[in-house]
Every structure is written in C-alpha cells, then in structure tokens.
Amino acid sequence: MYKGAIVSDFYKVQNNIFSTGEITQSKVDLELSNRLCKRYDMRVVCSGYYVGESYDGKTQGKLCVLIDGRGSRNDITKAIGEFKGAGNYGLYLNSPQFSECFRKIADDTLKEFSAIPDSGYMECDEVVVTVFDFVAEGINRIYGTSSPEVRKYMNEKYHVGVCDIVGVEDSEYIILIDRLDDYCGIINDRTHICKNIYEIMKRNDLFDLLRPDGLMISFLLKESLNQKALTRLLAHRPMC
C-alpha cells in the first residue's frame, strides 16, 4: 500500500490541472524539467514520490511523472504518448516490457529526481517509475468528462441506450446499437454525428488538445458481434 507523497500528492495535482486548465509547476518539477530538457526535450508538468511496502516486507518507491512532449524533437519522448496506458493508468517505464531506450529515460528521470533537494526521494529496495503523457492524459479525460452528454445526445437523437456507450480502450467511444434500422440510420448520419460529438467534447478541451481527425468512435450492431466480444463489451458498460 502506497502512502501519500512526501512533498505533494501527484494525483491531486494532476486532477487539478485537467479540471481547471491551469498549470503551476513546483520548484522540484521546474528543476527536473531543466535537468531533462537537453537530453530528452521534455517538460515535467508534475511529479510525486510515494513509498510503501511490498508483500515480502521490502520497501518499494513509486515515482510518478506527467511529461509534456508537445513539440519535442526527441523521437523517444514523442513515442511515449503513443503507448496504451500513457493517458490512463500510466506506463511502468523501467519495466522489462519496454526497450532499453525507454528504460534509460526512466532511469535518468529517477536519478535526476533523487538528486534534487527536498524532492521527497527516499532510498527503497525497488523503485517503479510511472510516466503519463500530457496530451494522451488530457484527451482521455476529455472522453470521460464528455461521456454523460454524449450518451444523452445519442439516446435522444438516435435511440441508443444511455448505458450502451462503452469505453474499453484509451480515448475511444464504442457505441452499441440494438436494432438494425437504427444502426443503418446512424451509419448514414455518421459524419453529422461525429461533428456534433466533437463539438460536445471541445467544450471540455481546456488545453486545445483534441482534433477532428483524431476522434475515435466505433458504431457496433450488437447482433453482428460474437458472444465473447459482446459479453466483454457489456461487462464494461458504465453504471447508469
């Protein structure tokens, strides 16, 4: 179980950024940005360090970092935002599943963070570096924040059940449709629907991150899905 961050609560700061549209970097985050800028051309928006105990009694640290690679000239930094999880639960960037170039970013970030006075760093038996991408995180939150209004729109205009808009992947609406005639009407009106949904979402886009060509919406007729796929999607329906 992780305890609260010593210096600041990363998740609280992160939530505040995306709910208010305001970024105020701490001295630690400014210093960490300066240290990493030359090598990786990235900005550290916020960070936090948590300490807990693993199941075998060893101490485990968790460094959480929200990075902004917009306009970066570093290909590795830019690629981070393309990974599944970069805008949702974060990437355990120093884990073996990532190649050496990404683990090197995690190692360097931890090294520089630990060297900053008053960063809150503590020596642990193991440290996990979890990285979130600003653009991916921001867009993912736009989908979540906009979903009640999108559900209402699809229900009132196209008879889609309010619980039949599912988001099982990062930054995507999957709209399940019961009747074939409703499905055909929706597909014929797809361009208009996407335009209206985009306009709904843009009202929650505090950092101008969303683009029309990046909108991810899938329309699926329930009876066309195999039972396994339908069951999986239905299991992820929101509580309505």
32-35's contacts with Cβ under 8 Å and 24+ in sequence apart are 32/65, 32/109, 32/112, 32/113, 32/116, 32/119, 35/112, 35/115, 35/116
Q: What is the pLDDT of residue 146?
A: 95
Mean per-residue pLDDT, 203-220: 95
Q: What is the pLDDT of residue 6?
A: 45
Q: What is the pLDDT of residue 238?
A: 79
Whole-number Å distance between alpha carbons of 101 and 160? 45
- Report yes or no: 165 and 174 within 8 Å, Cβ to Cβ: yes
Model confidence at 17, in pLDDT bands (50, 70, 90)? Answer: very high
Q: What is the pLDDT of residue 8?
A: 64
Give the list of residues 6+ apart from residue 164 with CB closer than 8 angstroms, or none.
175, 176, 177, 178, 237
Taking 70 as the threshold, does the pLDDT of residue 227 lie above it? yes
80, 96, 110, 125, 137 from 99: Cα distances, Å: 12, 7, 17, 22, 22
Q: What is the pLDDT of residue 1?
A: 36
Query: How many beta carbons lie within 10 A of that of residue 82, not counting itself?
Result: 9
Model confidence at 3, in pLDDT bands (50, 70, 90)? Answer: very low
Q: Look at 36-50, 93-107, 158-172, 197-211 and tell me which has the smallest mean pLDDT.
A: 158-172
Q: What is the pLDDT of residue 138?
A: 96
Q: What is the pLDDT of residue 5?
A: 42
pLDDT tens readout for residues 135-154: 999 999 999 999 999 999 99
**DSSP 8-state symbol, 212:** G
Max Cα-Cα span within the chain: 64
Q: What is the pLDDT of residue 2?
A: 34
Give the list of residues 6+ apart from residue 240 with CB closer than 8 angstroms, or none.
151, 162, 163
User: 120 is written with which tokens?
Assistant: 């809150």
Q: What is the pLDDT of residue 96?
A: 93
Mean per-residue pLDDT, 36-60: 90
Q: Is pLDDT larger for residue 106 or for residue 1?
A: 106
- Report yes or no: 198 and 215 within 8 Å, Cβ to Cβ: yes
Mean pLDDT of the chain, nearest integer: 91
Of all residues in the chain, what percent carry a pLDDT higher than 70? 95
Q: What is the pLDDT of residue 53?
A: 80
Q: What is the pLDDT of residue 66?
A: 97
